[in-house]
Amino acid sequence: MRKSTLLTIVCVTVMVPMLLLGVSIKENKAAQQAINEVPKIPKLEPRSSEWGKYFPRQYETYMGTKKSDEIKDVLQGSPELVILWAGYGFSKDYNAPRGHFYMLEDNMNTLRTGAPLNPQTGPMPTPCWTCKSSDVPRLIDKKGELDFYTGKWARHGGEIVNPIGCADCHSNDTMKLTLTRDYLKRALDAEGSKPFAEATHQDMRSLVCAQCHAEYYFKDTEWTDDQGQKQVAKVVTFPWDNGMVAEDIETYYDQRNFVDWTHALSKTPMLKAQHPDYETFITGAHGKQGLSCADCHMPYVREGGVKYTNHQIGSPLDNIANTCLNCHSGTEQEFRATIAEKLARKDELSRTAMDILAKAHLEAKQAWDLGATEEEMKPALQDIRHGQWRWDYSIAGHGAFFHAPEETLRVLGSAINKGQEARIKLRAILAKYNAGDFQAPDFSTKEKAQQIIGLPYDKLVEEKQQFLNGLKQEWFKQGAEKGIYDPKSREGMELKTSYPN
């Protein structure tokens, strides 16, 4: 055989496996690409069921928050609260929180948000939506922060129709955790101990929660709109500049003469704590050990070979075996008993503080009625302001008694002290006006307490019912027309309120 023929045969023989290998590499690359592909979800897609198509386990567990549907009227259980919050929305209606599935619904249904008739009517401002819906980051992205925070709550009805969901914590590009509310970044940088740029993945597993589970206030911010009109935006702001301890935040508010509302009975310039969960968590043992919110509230689940994060966010006590017992030895019963004890200790001091502060408000009202002067009242009112702030700070975060028991009891102790200081001062004023033996009226039920503060409960309920059957329905229709409303987010939801509906 000729050399050239031989060479050709050898070449062809070598070519066959080489080409096969080439084909296999091409196939492998295509498979690799398919595996690594991030699902194509539009930026800030508010409909969680769209994300759920690609992450069924996470979505299904998130929808499990629907199971927490019980309405518990907190005012009924603690009528002192009605006195403490006289003149403020919380004296109208306050229920224990339900699952994330219900947050938008409860925001619309509570008597606190009133019964607006059109986009311009009140009583609440737009930032009250901020933590209720995955439509918020979308709307902020569209309108800009200042525009979003301007106007009345009802202005964004029809745009905000889905509860908190996937888009609030995850980036559509990478599925990584992301902050969708810039005020938290600003607060972290202002506070300084953990600037946002230095946040690790483990930090993010708490920070996405801290976007909403933290203390905030609405900071009036002037801006000029497209038409050249001066507007005032109520920008959600965290009061962390001096630190996150109760007294640090109290100082922050005092320095700015900030007032959430003026008390209807005692005329005290009041502060309302929201839910400083993040602030208290980081001072407690678990926070100091570097745990994140997700470690206990979103434990890993194993299903066959797949491990994922449980998105049915709720109390870790519902799942002690898969939360506490991951790190601790001991039995479920022991854990329940320990935690019940912590709660009872907090409740004892909280009840004492509420009783003292409620009486202080009523005694202050009596002093005013008898003709006490502003100058006489000021020191006592300052004590009431500080006392109630501290009490509120310790109990407004529902898990504070567990997250940071010592700190919570310490702050409650100082609230009781401030309240008693106020009452001593008030007793001296009352004595001066010959009312040294004044006894505060009976506020032992929600009805009695609401009567004392002159709350037109039946009227509020009637107006609210009209809103629920009117404008609220309208909003979901508008949302559906805009193609942003996810009907799955309300599937099987019943109207539940603590007032007759």
Q: Where does this chain bind another protein (CB under 8 A)? A: 2-5, 7-8, 11-12, 14-15, 17-26, 28-29, 31-32, 35-36, 174-175, 302, 305-307
Nearer to another protein, 31 or 117 (CB): 31
Using DSSP, state whether 323 is helix, strand or coil: coil
Q: Structure tokens of 301?
A: 């689940």
- Minimum CB separation of residue 108 from another protein in Å reads 35
Complex with another protein: residue 14 or 285, whichever CB lies closer? 14
**What is the distance between the alpha carbons of residues 278 and 393, in angstroms, rounded to a whole number?**
12
Residue appearing with tokens 């969708």: 180
Q: Which amino acid is at 231?
A: Q
Residue number with CB closer to another protein (39 or 454): 39
Please report how close the Cβ of residue 40 comes to another protein at its closest, in angstroms: 14
Give me the least distance between CB of 301 and another protein, in Å please.
Answer: 12
Q: In angstroms, rounded to a whole number, what is the distance separating the alpha carbons of residues 263 and 251?
A: 20
**What is the nearest approach in angstroms of another protein to the Cβ of residue 9?**
9
Choice between 9 and 285, CB closer to another protein:
9
Collapsed DSSP state (helix, strand, coil) of residue 122: coil
**Which C-beta is closer to another protein: that of 2 or that of 230?**
2
Q: Which of 300/334 has CB closer to another protein?
A: 300
Determine the 3-state secondary structure of 121 from DSSP.
Answer: coil
CA distance 500 to 465: 9
Cβ at position 4, least distance to another protein in Å: 4
Say what angle helices 182-191 and 201-210 make with each other, to 10 degrees.
110
Distance CA 387, CA 137 (A): 36
Distances in whole angstroms, Cα of residue 272 to Cα of each of 198, 216, 391, 446: 31, 9, 10, 20
Cis ω for the linkage preceding 163 (within 30 of 0): no
User: What is the number of alpha carbons within 13 Å of residue 142 lying toward its C-beta?
Assistant: 13
Amino acid at 3: K
Rounded distance, CA 405 to CA 339, Å?
A: 10
Q: Which is nearer to another protein, 154 or 291 (CB)?
A: 291
Tokens of 358: 């409620």
Burial class (CB in 10 A: 0-12, 13-18, 19+), 451: middle
The DSSP code for 79 is T
Six-digit token string for 451:
């009567």
Rounded to a whole number of angstroms, the minimum distance from the CB of residue 37 to another protein is 8
What is the number of H-type helices and E-type strands within the chain? 21, 6
Q: Cα(246)–Cα(414) distance, rounded to whole angstroms?
A: 10
Alpha carbons within 13 angstroms on the beta-carbon side of residue 415 total 28
| Of 10 and 117, CB closest to another protein | 10
All residues at 6 or more sequence positions from 167 whose CB lies less than 8 Å from its CB, including other chains: 44, 45, 46, 48, 51, 134, 137, 138, 180
Measured in residues, the chain has a length of 501
Of 35 and 495, the one with the shorter C-beta distance to another protein is 35
Query: Minimum Å distance from CB 310 to another protein?
Result: 15
Q: Which CB, 24 or 224, lies closer to another protein?
A: 24
Closer Cβ to another protein, 21 or 431, answer by number: 21
